[in-house]
Amino acid sequence: MLIDFFYTLRACKLPVSVKEYLALLEALDKGVIGPKAPEATSMEDFYHLSRTILVKDEKHYDRFDRAFSAYFKGVALLADYSKEIPEDWLKQLLEKELTPEQKAALEAMDWDALMETFRKRLQEQQERHEGGSKWIGTGGTSPFGHGGYNPRGIRIGGRGGNKSAVKVWDARLYRDYDDTQELGTRAIKVALRRLRKFARTSSELELDLEGTIQSTAANAGYLDIKMVPERHNSVKVLLLMDVGGTMDEHIQRVEELFSAVKSEFKHLEFYYFHNCVYDFVWKNNRRRFAEKIDTWDVIRKYNRDYKLIFVGDATMSPYEILQPGGSVEYNNAEAGAEWLQRLTHAFPHHAWINPEPQGAWGYRQSIALIQQMVGGRMFPLTLQGLEQTMRLLSK
């Protein structure tokens, strides 16, 4: 009975022993849930019972959830084929597609040539174009427009897809990360708890159990209750989060991280940036150009004892890091590399958490640049990566 379920858990690298498996069978036989139980039993009841008996550590909850779903629901049931295909999916299929050979044949302009050619096109072009290789248009191989392909260009309007634009001419609205999202597991919180330094800084009181025992013993057995200020995590965290663009692919995981960070650290300050940090950051994405916060003010406001954590996929054009004016959204006076150097110098305890799969890092020139600028302190957004980050910052 349930032997295949046991083997599925073991195949998913869960440390489940035969003794625990037998304990689960015994619980079912005793009527904790099932036909012998006084109340009706659901699959959710079995889920909670089996997880309680079989999982010994919270960090394995997510792995258990995936194994449970794979065994009882089946992979085929994860897709609902009864739903209609979204219209935007069909439109994407109609966009111009190029073979790898055709893409390789396209020449990428350098920064100066690209900007100068763009100025000329704005002066010369008088009408809409589509499918070409020169003018500002859609669906072609021109460096200017959207819906087509070019190894290095300026996207004007439309939706990105190839992640190769060095500038974006469009009104882009970003959404704040949700800090109230309920986590499916507590594994991220468990990993963050490695970065803890408790101090009694609160006026609220809690029972001092050890002191009460000692005082009662010294008082001939008469109860003498001792109270002490409640302890809180005194670690200070400054969180800078990339939002919009390629980060849209990682919203759910970053929101889970953001929720966990807000619940674990009492002293938390957070700001948003896009792709790379420049001369300003913001707190509210809806008013990000109306309520800008000078990055210099952030550096001056917080002490060196703050732990600085960047969260971003570091996926962008290298120009955005190395070139003044390289930001995709405005003409920044100083290169992003200058601001990264200032921030990492102001906050020596720093790290970068990257939600992009680590296997893709070697194919992104910008990731290598950012990794070098943070002194190699870049870690993936995985449980192991978070544990490594917290271990580094706690030193």
pLDDT digits (tens, 9 = 90+) for 207-216: 778 888 888 8
pLDDT of res. 159: 58
pLDDT digits (tens, 9 = 90+) for 58-95: 778 888 888 888 787 654 333 444 455 565 555 555 45
Is 155 strand, coil or helix? strand
Mean pLDDT comparison of 24-28, 91-95, 113-117, highest-scoring range: 24-28
Rounded to the nearest integer, the mean pLDDT of the chain is 76
Is 275 strand, coil or helix? coil
pLDDT digits (tens, 9 = 90+) for 177-202: 555 444 444 567 667 766 655 444 55
CB 291 within 8 A of CB 301: no
Check residues 77 and 325 and name the one with the higher pLDDT: 325
pLDDT of res. 382: 87
User: At residue 245, does pLDDT exceed 50?
Assistant: yes
pLDDT of res. 377: 95
Q: Lowest-pLDDT range, 214-228, 270-284, 331-345?
A: 214-228
pLDDT of res. 267: 85
Q: How confident is the model at residue 44 (pLDDT cuts 50, 70, 90)?
A: confident
Angle at 342 between CA 337 and CA 346, to 5 degrees: 150
Q: How far apart are CA 310 and CA 242, in angstroms?
A: 8
pLDDT of res. 350: 96
The burial class, CB within 10 Å (0-12 / 13-18 / 19+), for 26 is exposed
What phi and psi, each to the nearest 5 degrees, are found at residue 57? -135, 135
User: At residue 353, does pLDDT exceed 80?
Assistant: yes
Q: What is the percentage of the chain residues whose pLDDT exceeds 90?
A: 23
Tokens matching residue 47:
């889920």
pLDDT of res. 81: 42
CB 317 within 8 A of CB 328: yes
CA distances from 317 to 164, 177, 275 (A): 7, 24, 9
User: At residue 172, does pLDDT exceed 60?
Assistant: no
Characterise 219 by phi-psi region: left (phi > 0), alpha (psi -120 to 50), beta (else).
Answer: alpha
Check residues 370 and 213 and name the one with the higher pLDDT: 370
DSSP-assigned letter for residue 174: -
Angle at 188 between CA 209 and CA 234, to 5 degrees: 45
Q: Can you say whether the dihedral through the CA atoms of 254, 259, 260, 265 is positive or negative?
A: positive
Q: How far apart are CA 321 and CA 369, in angstroms?
A: 8
Tokens 């921030």, residue?
343
Q: How confident is the model at residue 132 (pLDDT cuts 50, 70, 90)?
A: low
Check residues 346 and 291 and name the one with the higher pLDDT: 346
Characterise 150 by phi-psi region: left (phi > 0), alpha (psi -120 to 50), beta (else).
Answer: beta
User: At residue 227, does pLDDT exceed 70?
Assistant: yes
Tokens matching residue 380:
């993936």
pLDDT of res. 104: 55
DSSP-assigned letter for residue 313: -
Q: How confident is the model at residue 354 (pLDDT cuts 50, 70, 90)?
A: very high
Tokens matching residue 176:
């704040």
Tokens matching residue 215:
């005082």
Tokens matching residue 43:
């699959």
Q: How far apart are CA 80 and CA 85, in angstroms?
A: 11
pLDDT of res. 185: 44
pLDDT of res. 99: 55
- Residue 150: in which H helix or E strand, if any? none
User: At residue 374, does pLDDT exceed 50?
Assistant: yes
Q: Lowest-pLDDT range, 137-146, 310-319, 346-355, 378-387?
A: 137-146
Q: How confident is the model at residue 115 (pLDDT cuts 50, 70, 90)?
A: low
User: At residue 376, does pLDDT exceed 60?
Assistant: yes
